[in-house]
Amino acid sequence: MSLSGRKEYGEQMEKWILMNRKADLKRLSEEFGIDPLVAKLIRNREVIADEEIEAYLQPSLDQLHDPFLLADMEKAVELVQEAIAEKWKILAVTDFDCDGICTGYILKHGLAEVGGNVQIEIPERIRDGYGINSRIVRQAAAQGVRLIITGDNGIAAAQVIAEAKAYGIQVVVTDHHEVPYMLEQGEKMYQLPPADAVVDPKRADCSYPYEGICGAVVAWKLIQALYIAMGRGIKKAEAFLPYAAIATVADVMDLRDENRAIVKKGLEAINSLIGGEGAAHLGLRQLIEANGIENVTSYSIGFVLGPCLNASGRLETADMAIRLLEAQEQAEARQLAIHLKELNKERKGMTEDGIRQALEIIQQQKMEEDKVLVLKLEAVHESIVGIIAGRIKERYTRPVLVLTQAEDGLKGSGRSVESYNIFEKVSQCKDLLEHFGGHPMACGLSMKEENLSELRQRLNQECGLTKEDLVAQVRLDAQVDLAYFTEEIIRGLEIMEPFGKGNGKPLFGEKEVSIRRLAYIGKENNYLRLNLSGKDSRDKKALYFGDGQGLVAYLQEKYGEEEVQKAFQGEPNQIQLMIAYYPQINVYNGSSSIQFIISHYR
């Protein structure tokens, strides 16, 4: 039986692909001093040339690109220098998500470090919606603001920026979102806002070598360029590296190119703060401590710290997260950190309720055959529709738009699959929308409810997706017998960290794996602990954190209830599985052992 192929069971359909990229693994192993398996894994991630492999294995801040390669960066720096010299009031307008929060912190404190008079304005999600708006501009004009710098927004705010210019306010846009365009005779005509400088790596005329950076990194590049121009040197900007790293992971950027170095070195900087004293980075240290994190990884940013910062902008205001990051007193920082942790816990419960409602709608309205799912949910907080869309996308492997009722119509978010550019596809329906912006993989929108049905119809009619596009792919790095892994080999995989989008955790496959024992674990008996054996017949411990009862039902259908009961009782049985897995070292009471985490099965 081959590891490559399809699995179909219940609602699930998967295509397993065993990657087999050609390379001289022996030479790479000897030249770079790595296990041949690590050499194969790196090659699977399209890291090919020797200099690319060296950069991958030894990430360094020296690998960061020159900030002045960004279009309009010189203009932006000149304008900011003038604002500082003339003591203008500067307003940084950012977003309410983690990327926007980190952007605001970097802009305010990066500019204040060189004498800038800066305040942050983060729109309130419910009252203002996304990005700079007329209220913010009018308020800025009334307060005598002379320069507005947008961060993680602004590229699609042409009308509002024109208003700011009419008030005599200078505007610098820093953003990383897609540039809006109009189609004229089939050709894209890009529409930049009328700002004094527009710094966005997605500009068609931008020569920056890597466009996949987040909003906070674009803002950080502005600070780097400013420090260079003012003779302070780029090293001074490294103080903001932890926040650039957090935003990169939280905004789900590919951990490739300079992003890998930013996150790798950012994690080192963050972990050096743990247990520290004094006011520097006090809020971040307290958030780490409140969540009981002993070593910060890309996982703990993506699933703990980032969501905590996001929760402030989702359920209250993002100003709370800024207050935490700026806190100078331990008691205040501790209180804010605990509150954000509790807010995130509340957000998780609301999300699960929303997911249940979405699944019911799909089933009741028989939408399983829709290639693009467009859902309207009742009484769901608009701040969590993007998370719900992402979870439904993972379940059905197709683009998903989730909308809910807002004050002036519907607001929603979309999440997509690799084969569907949701930004371009939804852009083709602009006539049905009030506001819209985003990336190829995610978007935000608002619209009148009466246009919802037509939006659903048009997106499905013009989606261009095939059945093959809607099949989830399980990409296996290699077929490896469980017995191959020793603690030394597993630790050798750590050189590939940080893991995340664009640099996924290695996933291995093996067939004809025998199940020696099964046991339910978890509060609701929804996960499984397994004893497995491979070619060497020795027991190996494994865990499955998917739908444990679904796996048991699959085994019952395939092997019968009697064989499954034998497995639960630890008796000899006939059950064998093909598994996708990754190995890890489990440390408990000072002793370590190898265990395997099963991600998929056939």
pLDDT in tens, 178-189: 999 888 888 888
What is the tens place of the pLDDT at every residue in 472-506?
Answer: 899 999 999 999 999 999 999 999 999 999 999 99
Q: Which residues contact 347 (CB under 8 A, 6 or more apart)?
A: 307, 310, 311, 314, 315, 383, 384
**Burial category of 214 from C-beta neighbours within 10 Å (exposed 0-12, middle 13-18, buried 19 and up):** buried
pLDDT band at 276 (very low <50, low <70, confident <90, very high): confident
Average pLDDT over every residue of 531-552: 92
pLDDT of residue 10: 45
Rounded CA-CA distance 421/418 in Å is 7
Q: What is the band of 238 on the pLDDT scale with cuts at 50, 70, 90?
A: very high
- For residues 382 and 406, is the Cβ–Cβ distance under 8 A? yes
> Which pLDDT belongs to residue 2?
60
Q: How confident is the model at residue 406, as a pLDDT?
A: 86
Q: State which amino acid sits at residue 540.
A: K
Lowest pLDDT segment from 61-70, 90-99, 181-190: 181-190
Under the banding of pLDDT at 50, 70 and 90, the label for residue 7 is: low
Helix ranges (DSSP H) in 368-439: 385-396, 422-427
Least trusted range by pLDDT, from 50-64, 244-258, 307-321, 499-513: 307-321
Percent share of the chain, pLDDT over 70: 98
Domains of the chain are 5-49+473-601 (2.40.50.460), 64-239 (3.90.1640.30), 365-462 (3.10.310.30)
Residue-level pLDDT at 3 = 65
Q: Report the chain's mean pLDDT, rounded to a whole number.
A: 93
β partners of residue 444: 413, 437
Contacts of 501 (CB under 8 A, 6+ apart): 252, 253, 254, 255
| Residue whose token pair is 């930013």 | 262
Indicate whether 528 pLDDT > 70.
yes
How far is Cα of residue 284 from the mean position of the Cα atoms in its chain? 19
- On the question of pLDDT at 1 being above 80, the answer is no
pLDDT tens, residue by residue, 281-309:
999 999 999 999 999 999 999 999 999 99
> Residue 158 has what pLDDT?
96
Q: Are 386 and 416 a contacting pair, CB within 8 Å?
A: no
pLDDT in the model for residue 6: 53
Matching residue, tokens 């190829």: 440
Instruction: Please name which of 286, 265, 247, 334 lies closest in space to residue 64, comparing C-alpha atoms.
Output: 265
Q: Which of 273-282, 363-372, 490-499, 543-552 is predicted with the least confidence, judged by mean pLDDT?
A: 273-282
pLDDT of 439 reads: 84
Q: Would you say residue 165 has pLDDT above 60?
A: yes
Q: Which residues contact 337 (CB under 8 A, 6 or more apart)?
A: 283, 286, 287, 289, 290, 308, 324
Check whether 402 has a pLDDT greater than 80: yes
In tens, the pLDDT along 9-37 reads 444 578 999 998 889 999 999 999 999 99
> What confidence score (pLDDT) does residue 438 get?
83
Q: What is the pLDDT of residue 11?
A: 46
Averaged pLDDT for residues 131-157: 96
Residue with tokens 């800025």: 140
Q: Of 88-92, 275-279, 354-358, which range is least confident?
A: 275-279
Query: Could you tell me the CA-to-CA distances from 434 to 199, 354, 429, 555 in Å, in that order?
Result: 25, 24, 11, 50
- What whole-number distance in Å separates Cα of residue 246 and Cα of residue 219? 14
Residue 12 is predicted with a pLDDT of 55
